[in-house]
Structure 1
Amino acid sequence: MEGKIHSIESMGLVDGPGIRTVVFMQGCDLRCKFCHNPDTWAMDSSQVKRMTPGQLVEKVQRFRPYYGQEGGVTFSGGEPLLQPEFLEEGLSLLKEVGIHTCLDTAGVGMEDYDYTEILRNTDLVLLDIKQVTSEKYREMTGKSRDRFQTFQKLLEKMGTPVWIRHVMVPGLTFGEAHVKELEAYLKDIPNIQKVELLPYHVLGVHKYQKLGIHYPLENVRAVATEEVADWERRLNQSIVINQSTG
């Protein structure tokens, strides 16, 4: 069995705790308006690297001295859940050798696949919340929210620790009214350890130009980190602290 991998980052600092090797898997069914990696959408492309789970684990073990007590391996994308057999075996092998595992996902994988075993070998899920209602979710991603909701329910059942990620886009997910809506939504998700509000940026626009794809947010400004800092602190206080003391 071989996985289709877009790229591997050896010293990731923002994709989970500690220093991490980030494995960017190829393929994604969503077409998020703010996506900055359109080159990961197609399952097959000229950039795809093919590796077996064993080859991947052998490669990432070279970086193990940098992981320390907190670091490890994060599977990102694209959407890693679209290659579940590879992901399941890779996570299992990593756990066998004692490496911390993290899954960075929008929760939209294969419709009929049972992800229980994958979550059993996942120490942490970085869950990307695209939008807070079914209507807004479809407008943002072009897809139904059904697969995400199924995965979210499994996360709750498994009790997997979760870090929430949410991109703040002017006109779509930005502002006090939206933050209140997000806050109410997150209160129903257990096991949240952290909330990360990610400022919208335009660093991937050149990829659309290179690929000849229309960029849907052409006239939307980038957001500075300090613009979302107070909202992020508030959500971490109201969601994370309340869950830990409740």
Structure 2
Amino acid sequence: MELVGKYAVLHWGNEEFTIPRLKHGVLFLMSGYVGSQIHGCEYRIHLDYLRGRIVNEGVINGLQEHSRQLGVNEDGLGLELGWNPIIVNRGEEGVYFFNSKMKNWIGYADFSKPFIQEASLVMIRRNVPILGLPDLIINLDNKPTYILELKTTNNSTNLKFMRGREALQAESYFHMMNYLGLNPRGAAIIKIVRGSEFRIIDNIDLIIRSLDGGEDFVRLTKYVVIHRINVRDFNDFLKDVDYSLDYWLGLRNPRPSPSRGLCSGCEHRRYCPYSVVR
């Protein structure tokens, strides 16, 4: 990806895509945005870009737990607590971020390894690149087989719940891999209480047995559970993608979804015009 005048251009194989002008100057979408727009509050994302977002201790602790669970270094560990502008997918920073993630593109992966951490997936829809970064891909017989998305929490009560936006994020990775012709077998969310002794990359065989069992919910330990994703048809997924893109392409206004649950955890609740918690 590179900036050419007022536009960004994506070079993809032998093809070249001129990325349309997107809201807030973004150059590409993270696949997780689709789930947050469909099942969360889209107006929160809108305000994140207008005002910046708050990096709290939960964000930092979650990144640290991801690093411990997956054995990777998280770029975000350099974040400081407090207000931060979102620059990861716009301007020169967006070009740098996208190109740096493409160094770990799934097309370069060695599927003979037991697993791959944080490989990059890309699909292009309406000339807009969508970047996916699944936490873990488990390989069997030299093929990518299971996609795992890690979610961490401080409260064990949260383990038994899977949010719609979490399911759609994992589902997006499944469809993006199919889009690239990789045809995985399934996708799942693994939820872990931060600080537990369990470590994902040390328990791959246990996770495989649990996924092969076919159950929708499996408790691995008191502090670790797996939620299997019931993946929908690709066309149903694309409807959600297109609805999300309509906002970024400036074809509609952001959709607020005020609720006591969503608003109480939102950093913008004190001034958001739709907030029901102030």
- Higher RCO (C-alpha under 8 Å, 6+ residues apart): 2
Structure showing greater radius of gyration is 2
User: Considering the TM-score relative to the shorter chain, is it more than 0.5?
Assistant: no
TM-score bracket for the superposition, by shorter chain length = under 0.3
| TM-score where L is the length of structure 2 | 0.25
| Structure with higher strand content | 2
TM-score, reference length from structure 1: 0.27
